[in-house]
Amino acid sequence: MTDLAAAARALDGAPALEVLRWAAATYPRVALATSLGPEDGVLLDLIARHDLPIEVFTLDTGLLFDETRALWRALEARYQRSIRAVAPAQTVAAQAAEVGDALWARAPDACCARRKLAPLAAELARHDAWITAIRRDQTADRADAAVVEADRRFGLVKVNPLVAWTSAQVWQHLADHDVPTNPLHGRGYPSIGCAPCTSPVAAGEDPRSGRWRGRAKDECGLHQREAPPSGAAGRRLPVVDGVAAAGLRRPS
């Protein structure tokens, strides 16, 4: 069993490529979960150019911007690597039939639980480790993230090769290697998620203020830290159905 604390110390400050190579060599069942953001572009570029045996997937919520879908196709064409879609159990229409239209507007946590957390948990059950593109300076939940750590929420190892990078470093790498990016970044969208829950950001605003605008929410929940309940250590944790937990029913 890998000593994660020792690995985190050894890899702290290491180049992202070195961290990726370590992850590929240590965990045969490892995958990059890409949100198709700029940081993910850096990691995909490194994985593809160095032909690392790391699978790549993305959560297709059914609510992505058209520009995001176009970027998805462009990245696959550029790197000749498949970015596999991981989708929720229900289509957007089926979800609306069960709990009503626009769940994201009435209960965004519940919508994220259904369309992101549940499919991610099912996908990660196939892996021993997952690679993310989070950076410490993005949100409070990410501020103390280690380059390698135990993901207690999903029950596997989490590898964060860009955790100490700055936004400037990310964009410099993208420019240096001509990595395709989302045109929405040039239209005032520094952080891009599902179309209904993402809005442009004004000058001087926090880069993530356009996500779930007007709500006390800046994370979909994928990277929130949760300890397992008592007695659950070492077991993969279920994701609670946010709609049921919120007591939501289809409006009459």
User: CB of 13 within 8 A of CB of 164?
Assistant: yes
Beta strands in the chain (DSSP E): 30-33, 55-59, 84-86, 129-131, 148-151, 156-159
As a whole number of Å, the CA-based R_g of the chain is 18
Question: Catalytic annotation on 220?
Answer: yes
Confidence (pLDDT) at 229: 33
Judge whether 142 lies within some domain: yes
Report the relative pairing of strands 156-159 and 30-33 from DSSP bridges. Answer: unpaired
Confidence (pLDDT) at 227: 44
Judge whether 247 lies within some domain: no
Confidence (pLDDT) at 243: 34
Judge whether 114 lies within some domain: yes
Measured CA to CA, the distance from residue 22 to residue 30 in angstroms comes to: 11
Measured CA to CA, the distance from residue 223 to residue 134 in angstroms comes to: 8
Confidence (pLDDT) at 18: 98
Judge whether 144 lies within some domain: yes
The sign of the CA dihedral 116, 53, 28, 164 is: negative
State both tokens at 142.
């990410």
> How many angstroms separate the Cα of 203 from the Cα of each of 104, 197, 207?
26, 19, 9
Confidence (pLDDT) at 226: 58
Give the count of domains, the chain.
1
Measured CA to CA, the distance from residue 36 to residue 164 in angstroms comes to: 19
Judge whether 202 lies within some domain: no
CB count within 10 Å of CB 190 equals 18
Give residue 64's identity as a one-letter amino acid code: L
Give residue 96's identity as a one-letter amino acid code: A
Confidence (pLDDT) at 45: 98
Judge whether 199 lies within some domain: no
Judge whether 81 lies within some domain: yes
Q: Which entry of 111, 112, 197, 220 is annotated as an active-site residue?
A: 220
pLDDT per residue, tens digit, the chain (252 aa), is: 689 999 999 999 999 999 999 999 999 999 999 999 999 999 999 999 999 999 999 999 999 999 999 999 999 999 999 999 999 999 999 999 999 999 999 999 999 999 999 999 999 999 999 999 999 988 777 888 999 999 998 999 999 999 999 999 999 999 999 999 999 999 999 889 999 999 998 887 777 787 776 665 555 555 455 543 333 333 333 333 333 333 343 333
Classify each residue of 70-98 as buried b or exposed e, where b means 16 or more C-beta atoms within 10 Å of its C-beta: ebbeebeeebebebeebebebebeebeee
Give residue 166's identity as a one-letter amino acid code: T
Here the CATH number for the domain that contains residue 18 is: 3.40.50.620
State both tokens at 146.
């280690």
Measured CA to CA, the distance from residue 16 to residue 174 in angstroms comes to: 14
Confidence (pLDDT) at 203: 83
Backbone angles phi, psi at 141, to 5 degrees: -65, -20
Judge whether 128 lies within some domain: yes
State both tokens at 7.
């690995």
Look up the domain containing 161 and give its range: 4-186
